[in-house]
Amino acid sequence: MDTLLHSEPKGQKVSTLARQGLRFFLHTLLALASWIALMLVGYAVNPVGVPQWGILLLSMAVPFAVGMIVSKIRPDELATVVWLVGFIWVMIAGLWVLDMPTGPSHCFQCGATEKLMRTFFSLPSPSGLIDDDGPFLGTWPAAALVGYSIGAWLGMRKHA
């Protein structure tokens, strides 16, 4: 029993796993930092009339470029799996939204699919849930993580 608690997984040292975990965390942080920088520039410039789909595309494009640049400078396969954090992010936010009560001006009598679509994509109109910040809290950060992963993958492909 004591050997099971202190054995190392298939020949890997704990320091190697810790380094991999740190690199994964840093890639996730870099992807989110590039998205936050985009949002800060957007709020500073405050352009009028930018559609949400445009912000969604920018939320993927800017981290995509950062991921590609980082992968060209320092290739790391862990950068390509950051999309998993975005997937988990959307799933947790989706469960949070589905658990919210509906009422007048808050997606009254919405089904589950409509509740999610109206909250995260404002289609056909915003749901009123989470103060209409669904794209900001759920969709755009997840899109940034996916964009970073795709950029890192393409950057590594061209590097090899």
pLDDT tens for each residue of 89-122: 999 999 999 998 887 778 888 888 888 988 898 8
Domain that holds residue 82: 11-159
Task: Specify if 4 maps to a domain.
Answer: no
Rounded distance, CA 65 to CA 73, Å? 12
Question: What is the count of structural domains for the chain?
Answer: 1
pTM score: 0.85
Task: Specify if 5 maps to a domain.
Answer: no
Q: Are 110 and 118 in contact (CB under 8 A)?
A: yes
Task: Specify if 6 maps to a domain.
Answer: no
Task: Specify if 2 maps to a domain.
Answer: no
